[in-house]
Structure 1
Amino acid sequence: MRIIRIALAAAILLLNVTGAMAQEMRMAVTTSFHNSGLAEVLLPEIKNDTGIEVQLLVVGTGQAIRLGEAGDVDAILVHARAAEEAFVAAGFGTHRREIMYNDFIIVGPASDPADVAGAVSITEALQRINAARLRFVSRGDDSGTHKKELSLWTAAGIAPEGDWYASVGAGMGAALNTASGLNAYILSDRASWLNFGNKGALAILYQGDAELFNQYAYLPVNPAKHPYVKADLAAQLED
């Protein structure tokens, strides 16, 4: 009889553990979101409110989208609208929901040798950096920030290349560290910059252009493509 009771207790424990595991979901998020400090605030509240434990995979937007395409995550949180719309159009995401935003800024040496602070547009700011051939750090990682930076160079009629342009292939925090070490210019999202601890001699030099608006969107992975994804939890998290 004692053996039966032990077996029943073990079965109940297994059910509880299985239930707990069923409340976990995986979401790929951008390094800029993670560096902002929002995850530390939001995830405990989400768990308290919904019982869902969200496991984050912190990568650039391009890699987050590839993880979603492969069905390796249940949802993605990214910031590159054209790539997001292509993700949904190809059937990898059920839909795209805009959930939060911040903006991009140009950070650089407080002495501002390129006089970026005197520019009247982001286009002029980049043209001044290019003309002076002063150090500029690019994330170079196919992230949403990197995609935005490249689009801004293109709009300015510039193909950035040369010793002055350092493509580091890293997340926002690491790229900011590099810029701080080199006393270089860099495009950053505002939240990452505000939460960054190693500012050194850097300061915000250019901000406010409408082109620097930075929209984030939540995209659940389509269960029609990947039946094993936790679409129910992704939907519950969105609600």
Structure 2
Amino acid sequence: MPGDPPRGSDEKTVAGGVLGLRRFTPARIALGRTGTGQPTAASLRFMMDHARARDAVHAALDFNAIAQSPRSLGWSVVHVRSAATDRAQYLRRPDLGRSLSRAGRFDLESKAQGSDVVIVAADGLSASAIYSNLLPVLDHLRPLLLARGREIGPLVLVEQGRVAIGDEIGELLDAKLVVVLIGERPGLSSADSLGAYITWRPRIGTMDSSRNCISSIRLAGLLPDEAAMQIADVIDAAFVHSATGVRLNDLRSAASTPPTGAHIR
């Protein structure tokens, strides 16, 4: 019947126009069917991707191992924990992941130095994202910031952290700007995606509308070197306009818009 899904698992049975879309996305489209179900290969891939997504959320991150490479490259590294005592509580209580533990707060209070930029790396909802993408991003980002004259504070590794924990960390360290690199919520086609959240003058209670986000940092998405360049460009704009988030976007848009009545050549 017209409109029925294609029969058989052979891709040749799928309409060329729909099948062509598969070249541009890992999304599950034009899979075909076997009888009334999916082809076996597609079903197995779905189960594998689902398992990877679950593992990304529940896996524990070895912070000691993660800290070794940045230290060897000259980073001052601090490891702290959020107020969530374990992974189960972290998943049930998002609010606890936004605040430091007492010990973590004490550790950072003694390290306030008023730097330009503080980088925070948190496991978030994907340990896989940190393992795969954190070090490549740091390797490209650090020289970009130093070349632009930015004073970089310590690299803060946060266990059981969420985006807003960067506000408290930035406030404690008296940073002008904080960049939170965090494992994003995994999907069935991207279990290892890293996000970067950039906040000017971080303070507890900062709204999400005051941040800029660069997402999908991964080898199959936004490459780490390209992400580092985008992060550095947003940081430059933040220092020019003393803002991030919606306000920064509006200011940059206004700066690039010709005045009313101006002739466009």
Q: Normalising by the residue count of structure 1, what TM-score does the alignment of the two structures yield?
A: 0.25
Q: What's the TM-score, normalizing by structure 2?
A: 0.24
Higher relative contact order (CA 8 A, sep 6+): 1
Higher normalized strand content (fraction of residues): 1
